[in-house]
Structure 1
Amino acid sequence: MEFKNSLVFAQQLDAIDPLRKYRNEFHFPKVKGKDVIYFTGNSLGLQPKRSQKFIDDIMKDWKDLAVEGHFHAEKPWWDYHERLAAPLAKVVGAKTPEVSVMNTLTVNLHMLMVSFYRPTQKRFKIICEEKAFPSDQYMLNSQVQFHGFDPDTAIVEVKKRPGENFWQTQDVLDKINEVGEELALVLIGGVNYYNGQVFNMEAITRAAKAQGAFVGWDLAHAVGNVGLNLHDWGVDFAAWCSYKYMNSGPGNASGIFVHQKYLNNNEIPRFEGWWGTRKETRFLMKPEFEPMENADAWQVSNPPVLSLAPYLASLEMFEEVGMETLISKRKLIVAYLEFILQEIDKETEGSFEIITPKDRGCQLSVFLHGQGKELFNYLMENGVITDWREPNVIRLAPAPFYCSFADMYNFGQILKSGILAKG
């Protein structure tokens, strides 16, 4: 498709957008009385309007039924989380029993490490990407130290090549082969939070499994954004937050994936709690733990239904639309945003550069030359909600559910005005 930097062209794309009606399904903040151009769905998705009813239903059941809501609500609370598994499995490319929802992301990574980081004196090293998201770094360091190893030797970071802004897949594969029999685990963010790069999860998983290592993925920036096929790739485990592209609300519950081959297994180590034991015998209060036959075996507490309600509301939309349609629009709108940025860059004589590679999802990270945070502040003051990352990067994520092609054009005009005003 030959793009044009014009409002008319953008509006023509919006007119044929199969997701155009979903823009009205979300609440937009306003600046100067107008809906913002929202580029931070990679940090916190907008609120779906239908979330309110899902929450109100629980509040009404709590008011009318009190404790009986666990069993007699229209959506009983004691198994509320089970309603999320099937639609989530479609989003991540899993079998329904392999998926559960509980806790928050880093908590779940810690819980899963109990099962999948089992170091020995010979096989104890973890491979991750250079400058992983800080929470992952803290989690890995503390896990390694808990097992009595030195992070400086146990954690192996794959670095970017000098002068490059993204990782080469071959460098990851080479590092896996180099560490070899000392490798216990590969744990990488499937989509890098800083530059928006999508790692080749299938190839990396295959290479790590060939070395006898476990493989896990932090999918915080991947779920609801890129195509995933966790079961067929042979991934051992994964976890993700739900409040970015999944639009479930701030700090909301995390999803987990555990491969089918580890389910219904009494021998695998894990931290156990009441909600991980079998539903059929849970209220017999037996002293023996009998794991659920699915990923719910990793649950420890009853589901936080007020948190799960907006997640379920958002998943209803994912069910209606399907990941294939979302990904198709995402590719087109990100390509159009890239085109707009390139056009504005020509008009402003090289004021910035895109550091996101072609292996990408919904995010373009833009390095500013000589503009600094003043330009970011200008964008925010003029109704463009974007994200600043030190030292000089703004992240732009046009989420396909609610961002329009006209947003991309209008953003370009605001960006150009900001650069010229600060020039």
Structure 2
Amino acid sequence: MSGPIDEEPAPGIGSADRTAAQDEAARAKKREQNRRYREHHPEQYAEGRRRWVEANRDRVRETNRRWRAEHLERARELNRDSMRRTVARKRRDAEQRARGRERAKRWREAHPERVREYQKGWVQENREKVREYYNRYYATHRDEVNARATARRDADPDRVKQVRKEWAERNKDRRAEHQRERRRDPEVYRAELDANAAARRLKRRLERDGLPPKRLHPSSAAERRAREREAAAYFGDPDISEHVRQFSAFAATLTEHMLEHGDRMREFAEAYVTMRERMGLPSVDVEQVTYARAVEVVTKQVRRIDLLTSGDVAAAVRSTMAWVRDVERRRQFDSLVTALLAHIESHVERLSEEAAFESRARHVRGKPAGSFESLVVQLATNEVVEEMPMSRLTVRDARRAARAASLRIPIPVESSTFSSNSAPHQRLM
């Protein structure tokens, strides 16, 4: 007996193979469709892939990790190939850039005028960009730029002064605006007013006391840097022993301290000596106390004195004493000359009359009268030396000061009141 069931094929391996073949064909067809889509729509495909990767970062990372773990040797081979291609590409790019630089260099050497014209035109057209480049470089290399600028200024300080003077002449309005902007700060303005008032008071007090004006030796920044370089070269010289460097530093510091604070140190020493006398203790020399205290102060200021002996300290003290005495002698000499001139100018009438009487008296006694100016200076010297500090001056120094003052007094004219038949006299104006 036969039936429709007998006519149906029985399921078996053949049907499964047909299903797998159909799935594979469908997948191949899908891949072909995707390939054609990628070829015809590359931008849309790239954009879609980018969005998918951004939305599935973890999935992509996990997939890559699994593939690398399953195909380690293949991954390493691909990495090596990629690195070889990268190195070769970089080498080709570097060689191409080097050839381009070489061609550009040869062209610039052959056409210098065109290069200068191009650079000048480019700078004119790109002022803002050039300023930005300068500011960016300066912000990154501030110390180097300042060091080069300082070296250029120190190499030719006279030229720098001239350039600054010319700039100030061309930009008077701009300088005035800078000054007004600075003085808008009330603290700065008040400090300037106080400094100017103090300088005027000092000047009037010195003039009233017959003393010379305050002497200032302006030192430019270039000079200060030059001295600093010399000091650094001296103290950093390996050929000079550490003992010599310590002695030089100690002696120089002691001299500077005495020149700046000598008067205050002597006041302290005089008060100390007076106290000892009041207490009935043995008397000591004021100068020794002064320098002992100065050595104690300077010892704390100098960085290293471990190699100095008592003999070195004594030698430094002797050197400082000689230098300070010479400086004080020059100061007292200049003060005496200035005081003589100021005294003569203030009492010219009286000194002229006394000098005339003295000249006539010498003539009557048969003594040489001398010049009228010498008599005036001699009388003024006798009056001034009683009030001037002359602890460092000798009689010879006082005579030299009188001669220097006689050469600087105003030009005299003939005196109509005090004269004699044998020797004409003159009167100071």
Q: Name the TM-score class by shorter chain.
A: under 0.3
Larger Rg: 2
Higher strand share: 1
Structure 1 length-normalised TM: 0.19
Structure 2 length-normalised TM: 0.19
Point out which structure has higher relative CO (alpha carbons under 8 A, 6+ apart).
Answer: 1
Higher helix share: 2
